[in-house]
Structure 1
Amino acid sequence: MECAAKGSGRNRCTGAATRPCARCGAVAYCSLFHQIAHWSSHKHECDRLEQQMKSVHLLNDFPFTFSQEATSQETRCSFLSKRGIHQKGMWMIECRCGESSASFDCLGLNNSWDIPSNLYPCYAPESQISEQLRSWRDYYNWRCLPLDSPVALLLHWPLTIYHAAQLVGIGTLNPLNPEVCDKLCIHYLGPEKELLQLNVFGELQALFPGLHIHIELVGPAIPPQRDGEKVRISRYVSSNEGQSVCKSASKNAILATQSGITPAVTLQLWHGFYHDRYRDLDSSPHLVIAPNGGIAAYPSWMPTIELIEKLDVPAVFTDYCEEACHLAASCIENVIGRSLKLPVQLNPFRQPIAVEDSVLLLPCYSNCFLFGM
């Protein structure tokens, strides 16, 4: 963990951040000197962080058999290695050593689960969703998955889209937006690591039955040479050949980029910022979503927020912790001059493995909290 005062003064940190704030317990310092020097800034957030720390038990509440180890201090590398998926396929980007060797030039090519077939959904669900999914337990029960399956680590991307759509009134169990007939168009802002996990978006076929899902992914992390490229996902993700027998061989998932295939999910890639590329996109959105946006940290978000306000469409943002969402919400409200329509709230489909080396002692998870305008 980094010292909360790192980079805020002339004096360098003297070592590890081992001195937590006695009041909130959410930040730590390398020395008493840095703790005192940082108080003028920290005092404005200390009470708020103290309240957030009281909800830690809710953040760590997952139904999985691996929840305790995934929310503890065990490294991601260790967690993945125990399951034989360390630096494999779509799992490669889930740890630091994988991040260092991964290349977005290979996006969309890692198309298998690399785990036994009883641990992942490789075929259409046995029944359509009859009640709104409200938790990982609901999803696993519906998809007939055992609670030792690690697929939630990757499926938090499509499940967060599903949950965001439900919150703004878009979905097969909600009164559909009148413009949503047989095609749901989503503008997905700032993708990064999910670019190497594109196949998991095929699960949207099950979550939005009867709808063609078209997602425009826009962000600077998309390689310029892939700009405008379409990726068509026509079936569900499968296992590696020869590793295990799929539950339904005739319904194995494939990633199809050939022409002539009618897909259930289409992804289109755009390099750059949303406010610069919006006019180039092929569709108008029913929903804008920005996972793990870091809005308060990057000034480039401000013209994008102004554009979304003009579009007057539902927009949902997520971040790694409640404090990041609070800061982001304040930035957005300053730009649009009104309160958010969707207040900051915990995402039931956050990734169930803790982020390593957070700047806060608050537990952090990918897509942990969400809010919207």
Structure 2
Amino acid sequence: MDGSIYFNKITKGAKDLIKAEQSGKPMPASFDFANSQICAWCKQSIEPPKKPLRCSACKAPIYCSAKCVKRDWKTPAVPNAVTHKVLCTDNKRHMQRLPEVQAVLKSFPWGRLESDGTFSSEIARGRFDVLGGSGYGFWSHRGGPIPHQLHGDGAFQIDNVSHSAQFIQTMLRAFDHLDGSDLLQTRHLTDEEGWKLPRELIPFRDITQDARRPMLVTQFQGGVVDWDKNSVFPDGYRWRNLPKMSPAALLMDFPMSVYQMLVHCLEITSPNAGSEIKPVNLDIYFLGVEVELNFLPLFSEIALLLPYHNLRLTLFGPGVRKFLNEAKKHPSSIAAKSRASGNPIFSYTAPPKCGSSTINIHLSGNTTWFPNPHTVPNAIVACNAGLASYPEWVPIICATLVLGIPFATTEYCEQSAEAQRNFFPMLICGSRSQKIELNPFYRPGQRVFPMYRLPNLVNGFTLVGGDYDHPCPGY
């Protein structure tokens, strides 16, 4: 499979969809971009004309037969897995959010539910000609069936089907893209170069170019609390006064989620915390970074939302280290010069009318943050971390507790966030409950998850580290 052919095919489908919508005629079945559905118990694909079955109580899992429904109720699908009998009550509670998250998606003109309840963000991006790998500005991404970088040589799963490392490497070559590749140039992309959208759809960081200039955020009535303060009348992203036609929410969920974690989850600062006389200084570590390298300038939004702050954001992750190794081959690049001088790779200062805040972004050559009592940040955040899925999170979680560092992350599913919260006491010998909330700045639209209909959203739920009674042994 060739990546450019794949992206071009999706973009053509999106353009054809626009024509079909404008025709006013009934939508042909060929414009259903639903994905194949997989049985939650036997993991076999459920192909038409066969219709999937669902749990009659919670409506969450999908099955190919009544036999698999009964098996999943009492028998783990894989060793040590939890049975559906245990999960069903919680699933029913989680499914109550589905109408809410679907309504948010449908408030956007490009928001569309497929027949399986999912949302194709690739089709949405194809509408605006911003779908592809390298060369698409802030939208550049690996994409296709391999959205994340592969770290290590073991097997990998796509749609819960295990594949060999050789297969994955073949797919990686087809969809080759280095996260952060635009940072190998000699200057940062401008807003227009990065967004590749009509001017009226761009949330400019250079607000002198923006007729809808944001004001001092403390003067914004109601504050910035979600994509649109009044979702009943979705006439724009109110803080930026952007029309809902803008697909900005498909990228801005990352910087806005960091803002949400700092202000509303961890409560380490607020838009009112600083003043012109006494600005607030914050040192934030951002862990597990990959795709964020493609749109670092978008994190300038945090400086606009937090007047009179000096923010230092240090990025960690295997993706960061891989990028920095590549940057050594480009000595005149932004990244190489930043690395050699120790200066930020990206800096932004908000205009005086917006509070004059600064944000300086640094890249760390360490794969992850190593606990060091002498370099304790004000907070640690991560996006879509999968805490219980990667062993490298264990010492990090323990260290945040011992050193008293506020820690928060976003997760795709409420179910997985609760499972990880339950896993924490196993790591640190007893805990108090951590707070889990729906993140108001999640990326609109249900992710593809072929076995369940639970709300599954990029940056969907926030999970806040709690206070623990008994620290991890050895710390």
Deviation at 1:329, TM superposition (A): 1.2
For residue 137 of structure 1, the aligned residue among 216, 220, 228 is 228
Equivalent in the alignment of 1:117? 199
Pair 1:36–1:97, CA change in 2 (3 A):
closer
Unaligned runs of 5+ in 1: 7-11, 237-247, 249-261
**2: CA distance between counterparts of 1:19 and 1:188?**
41
Deviation at 1:27, TM superposition (A): 1.1
Deviation at 1:4, TM superposition (A): 2.0
Deviation at 1:164, TM superposition (A): 1.2
**2: CA distance between counterparts of 1:105 and 1:163?**
24
Unaligned runs of 5+ in 2: 1-36, 75-82, 148-174, 208-212, 230-235, 326-337, 352-356, 466-475
Deviation at 1:363, TM superposition (A): 2.7
Q: Structure 1 residue 13 and structure 2 residue 44: aligned?
A: yes
Amino acid across the alignment from 2:299: F
Of residues 226-235 and 82-91 in structure 1, the stretch that sits farther from structure 2 once superposed is: 226-235
Q: Structure 1 residue 346 and structure 2 residue 380: aligned?
A: no
For residue 362 of structure 2, the aligned residue among 267, 278, 293 is 267
Equivalent in the alignment of 1:171? 269
SS at match of 2:293: helix
Of residues 313-322 and 89-98 in structure 1, the stretch that sits farther from structure 2 once superposed is: 89-98
Deviation at 1:174, TM superposition (A): 5.0
Q: Structure 1 residue 319 and structure 2 residue 414: aligned?
A: no
Give the percent of matched residue pairs that are identical in Structure 1 and Structure 2: 23
Amino acid across the alignment from 1:13: Q
Deviation at 1:142, TM superposition (A): 2.0
SS at match of 1:184: strand
Bigger RCO (CA 8 Å, 6+ sep):
1
**2: CA distance between counterparts of 1:70 and 1:215?**
36
**1: CA distance between counterparts of 2:445 and 2:347?**
27
Q: TM-score, normalised by structure 2?
A: 0.63
Q: Structure 1 residue 83 and structure 2 residue 83: aligned?
A: no
Deviation at 1:225, TM superposition (A): 5.6
SS at match of 2:463: strand
* 1:78-107 alpha-carbon deviations (Å, 9 max, x no partner): 211111211122223284278433223626
Equivalent in the alignment of 2:140? 92
Pair 1:273–1:152, CA change in 2 (3 A):
same
Pair 1:143–1:283, CA change in 2 (3 A):
farther
**1: CA distance between counterparts of 2:384 and 2:314?**
17
Pair 1:318–1:105, CA change in 2 (3 A):
closer
* 1:269-288 alpha-carbon deviations (Å, 9 max, x no partner): 344233xx344x99531111
Deviation at 1:70, TM superposition (A): 6.2
Q: Structure 1 residue 157 and structure 2 residue 254: aligned?
A: yes
Q: Is contact 1:216-1:270 (8 Å) kept?
A: no
Amino acid across the alignment from 1:194: E
Equivalent in the alignment of 2:33? none
Pair 1:26–1:202, CA change in 2 (3 A):
same
Q: Structure 1 residue 34 and structure 2 residue 68: aligned?
A: yes
Amino acid across the alignment from 1:4: A
Q: Structure 1 residue 2 and structure 2 residue 38: aligned?
A: yes
Equivalent in the alignment of 1:298? 390
Q: Is contact 2:377-2:405 (8 Å) kept?
A: yes
Pair 1:24–1:107, CA change in 2 (3 A):
farther
Pair 1:57–1:278, CA change in 2 (3 A):
same
**2: CA distance between counterparts of 1:269 and 1:3?**
42
Q: Structure 1 residue 104 and structure 2 residue 183: aligned?
A: no
Q: Is contact 2:318-2:368 (8 Å) kept?
A: yes
RMSD: 3.1
Equivalent in the alignment of 2:92? 50
Deviation at 1:30, TM superposition (A): 3.4
Q: Is contact 1:53-1:362 (8 Å) kept?
A: yes
Deviation at 1:359, TM superposition (A): 4.2
For residue 24 of structure 1, the aligned residue among 53, 58, 67 is 58
Equivalent in the alignment of 2:162? none
Q: Is contact 1:340-1:372 (8 Å) kept?
A: no
* 1:129-186 alpha-carbon deviations (Å, 9 max, x no partner): 125311111492222211211111111111111111112223343557xxx9542111
